[in-house]
Amino acid sequence: MKFHILFILECFCCLRLSFKASDFMKYRKVGKSGLKVSEISLGSWLTYGGSVENEVAKKCMTTAIENGINFIDSAEIYAKGGAEMVIADFLAEETFNRKDLVISSKVFWAMNDYDVNDWGLSRKNIMNAIEGTLDRLNMDYIDIYFMHRYDYMTPLRETVEILDDLIRDGKVRYWGTSVWTAAQLERANAIAKDIRAHKPVVEQPLYNMLVRYIEMEIMSVAKTHGMGFTVWSPLAQGLLTGKYNDGIPEGSRADKSEFLKKNLTEETIEKVKKLGEIASSLEITIGQLALAWILRRPEISSAIIGATKPEHVIENVKASDVELSKDTLSQIEEILDNEPEWPLTYKPNYYYKDKMR
C-alpha cells in the first residue's frame, strides 16, 4: 500500500512539473547541431545570485519554464559562482527534469586574483573551471560550454583539444564561443576539422537593434560552419523595452549601472519612442518588437533575455509568437538607420548577376 501511494505521488509530481512546450513558444536548432532551444531563453548575468533575491530568481525560472523556455544560460563568473548555485537550488526544489533543460555555462574570466593560471582557455584552467561549474550546478554535465572570450595567450589547438576531451568524457554536450571574431571562428573550425575534434556549434555575441556588428561578417562565417547564435542583451539591458523613455526608474539596471546610463542618449531614446509607435500599431510592446526583430534572422537560435521579475519573462516570451512583415521591417530599418556597412572598396561586386542561375 505504502509503495502504491509513493508511486502515485511520484507520477503526480512528474505530471505537474515536467517541462512542456508552450502554445506560443517556438524552438530552433542550434546551427546544424541536433540541439533545440527555445527562441527566447533566460540568462543570469547581473541578476541571479546577486542583485535579485533568490526567491524572485527562482520564480523567474519557474515562470520561464512554464512558458516554454528550455534554455538557461549562466557562467562561472556571474556573481562569482552565485548564479550557478541559484540555478542548482532552483532545480533541487522544483522537480523540473534537468534532462529536459539546456543548461549552459562559460569559462574565461579570473575567479580569483592570486593565481596566474586561474583564467583563460588553457587546459589547466578549463579542467579546473568545469569541475567548479559542475559542482556548483550540482550536475554531471552541462549542455553548452561557452568560451567566454578568445584567449590570446593559449594556443587555440590546446583549447579545442580539451573541449573535445570534455565532450568525450560526458561532462559537456556541446561547446560554443562568445564574442569571437570571424577569423577566430574560422580557425577554431579548421583546427577541429584537422584533428577530428568536436567543432563549436554556437557563438554568443551581443546583438540587438542598437548593436549590429555581427551582421557584417561573423554571421555568415558562423553559418558556413553550421554554428548558431544565442545572443545576449537582446533588449539592450532594458533600454529597448521603453522603460527609460521618461527617465531612469528607481531600482532599474540603469539606476545601478554607469555603463548603461551612458547609452541613454537623446538620439537613442528618440528611436525607441518611434519604435513604440510601430509596436502600438501591432498591439505588442516595444520589447516584444525588439525580440521579434532579432528572431527575423534564421541564423539566430535564441535571444537570451535577463529578467528581474517574473512579469518580464511573461512579457518577453510572447515575442516568439510575433512575426514581423516586410513592411514593418523596413519601417524599423528606417528608424534605426544603423545597418552596418562595409566601406565601398570592400563591397562585393557581381558581374552578370542577372545572367547567372
Ligand X SMILES: NC(=O)c1ccc[n+]([C@@H]2O[C@H](COP(=O)([O-])OP(=O)(O)OC[C@H]3O[C@@H](n4cnc5c(N)ncnc54)[C@H](OP(=O)(O)O)[C@@H]3O)[C@@H](O)[C@H]2O)c1
- Minimal distance in Å, beta carbon 204 to ligand X? 5
Q: Contact at 8 Å (CB) between 153 and 120?
A: yes
CA distances for 315 relative to 60, 318, 346, angstroms: 12, 6, 41
Side chain identity at 120, as an amino acid letter? G
Handedness of CA 236, 242, 246, 251 (dihedral sign): negative
- Minimal distance in Å, beta carbon 91 to ligand X? 17
- Minimal distance in Å, beta carbon 46 to ligand X? 6
Retrieve residue 176's grid coordinates: 560554443
In 37-56, which positions are buried (b, 16+ CB within 10 angstroms) versus exposed (e)? bbbbbbbbbbbbbbebeeeb
Nearer to ligand X, 54 or 252 (CB): 252
Nearer to ligand X, 17 or 111 (CB): 111
Nearer to ligand X, 31 or 306 (CB): 306
Q: Contact at 8 Å (CB) between 147 and 176?
A: yes
- Distance, CA of 127 to CA of 230 (rounded, Å): 24
User: Does an H or E element contain 144, and which?
Assistant: strand 142-147
Q: What are phi and psi of 236, to 5 degrees?
A: 50, 45
Nearer to ligand X, 178 or 328 (CB): 178
- Minimal distance in Å, beta carbon 233 to ligand X? 4
Strand-strand pairing, 36-38 and 40-43: unpaired
Nearer to ligand X, 85 or 236 (CB): 236
Retrieve residue 143's grid coordinates: 549542455
Question: Which residues lie closer than 8 Å to 181 by C-beta, 6 or more apart?
Answer: 150, 218
Give catalytic residue positions.
78
- Distance, CA of 50 to CA of 83 (rounded, Å): 7
- Distance, CA of 177 to CA of 173 (rounded, Å): 14
- Minimal distance in Å, beta carbon 22 to ligand X? 17
- Minimal distance in Å, beta carbon 268 to ligand X? 14
Residue 39: closest CA among 53, 24, 60? 24
Which residues would be at the binding site for ligand X (CB under 6 A)? 43-45, 47, 73, 148, 178-179, 204, 232-238, 241, 243, 252-253, 287, 304-308, 312, 315-316
Nearer to ligand X, 182 or 190 (CB): 182
